Amino acid sequence: MKIGYARVSSTGQNEAAQVDILTRNGAEEMFIDKASGTSRDGRPKLAEAIRFARKGDAIVVTRLDRLARSVGDLQAIAQELEGKGVDLIVTEQQIDTSTATGKLLFNMLGAIAEFETDLRKERQLEGIAKAKAEGRYKGRPASVDGDAIRAALAAGDKPAVVARRFNVARSTVYRVASDAPA
């Protein structure tokens, strides 16, 4: 059986093109996630597709980056599939891990996907650093009123009470208290 897996990064994106390609390539069952591919966390349909697959089945994706964006995750997924006797087919990059050439391409393209992700992160950090230097980036606005938390603690309120009052975790109360100016 061919099991299709599609992933888009956000709810604003549409997986229809991937589903169409997977269907044309014989996918009989479909699993779709709307989440980032930088980690396996938060992708319940991927986990479900892997659990669903049986020996002799193949997981089919359109592109390797739809499956994962790090070599570590790709290797872990590949090992998990191999351990179950399940092949991986990547339609747009003509990869089929049931062949030696397919396994080689899988590993090479996985490394390239991770490289692209690292480059994107570097560019983002460079842009943030430049914006900070130009005074255009101030970071996320504070969502916790540290002065109010410190005042409540100084008034003798217990950290758990303060946390409930300000709708924050107790650890936040302790962090704010430890960041208090001397």
pLDDT in tens, 2-57: 999 999 987 678 899 999 999 999 999 999 998 887 778 889 999 999 999 999 99
Residue 31 has phi, psi (to 5 degrees) of -130, 130
* Closest to 2 in 3D by CA, of 23, 16, 32, 33: 23
pLDDT of residue 181: 61
Percent of the chain predicted with pLDDT > 90: 51
Structural domain tally of the chain? 2
Residue pointed to by tokens 């410190």 = 150
* Amino acid 1: pLDDT: 96
Q: What is the pLDDT of residue 11?
A: 67
- Residue 119 forms part of a structural domain: no
pLDDT at 99 over 70: yes
Tell me the average pLDDT across 144-148: 88
**In this structure, are 18 and 95 located in the same domain?**
yes
Residues 104, 161, single domain; the answer is no
At 180 the pLDDT is 63
Looking at the structure, do residues 81 and 162 belong to the same domain, yes or no? no
Residue type, 87: D
Structure confidence at residue 59 (pLDDT): 96
Please say if the pLDDT value at position 182 is more than 60: no
Does residue 131 form part of some domain? no
Neighbour-count burial for 148-178, b at 16+ CB within 10 Å, e otherwise: ebbebbeeebebeebbeebebeeebbeebee
For residues 18 and 83, state if they share a domain: yes
Residue 99 falls within a domain, yes or no? Answer: yes
Domain of residue 154 covers: 146-178
Average per-residue pLDDT in the chain? 88
Tokens at residue 52, please? 């669903």
The closest alpha carbon to 174, from 150, 143, 156, belongs to: 150
> Is position 178 annotated as part of the catalytic site?
no
Q: Which among 9, 10, 98, 171 is annotated as catalytic?
A: 9
CA distances in angstroms from 66 to 8, 55, 81, 108, 165, listed in the order given: 7, 22, 16, 15, 43
What's the pLDDT at 24? Answer: 96
Confidence at residue 114, expressed as pLDDT on a 0 to 100 scale: 79
Tell whether 130 is covered by a domain: no
The top-scoring range by mean pLDDT among 36-45, 129-138, 154-163 is 154-163
- The answer to whether the CB of 75 falls within 8 A of the CB of 106 is no
Domain boundary among 72, 97, 113: 113
The closest of 52, 78, 54, 50 to 64, measured between CA atoms, is 78
> Mean pLDDT over residues 75-103, rounded?
89
What is the pLDDT averaged over residues 144-151? 90
Cα–Cα distances in angstroms (integers) from residue 129 to residues 68, 122, 124, 137, 152, in the given order:
28, 10, 9, 8, 36
In angstroms, rounded to a whole number, what is the distance separating the alpha carbons of residues 62 and 21?
7
Of the two residues 97 and 180, the one the predictor is more confident about is 97
CATH code, domain with 83: 3.40.50.1390
Helices (H), ranges, the chain? 16-24, 44-52, 64-67, 71-84, 100-133, 146-154, 159-166, 170-178
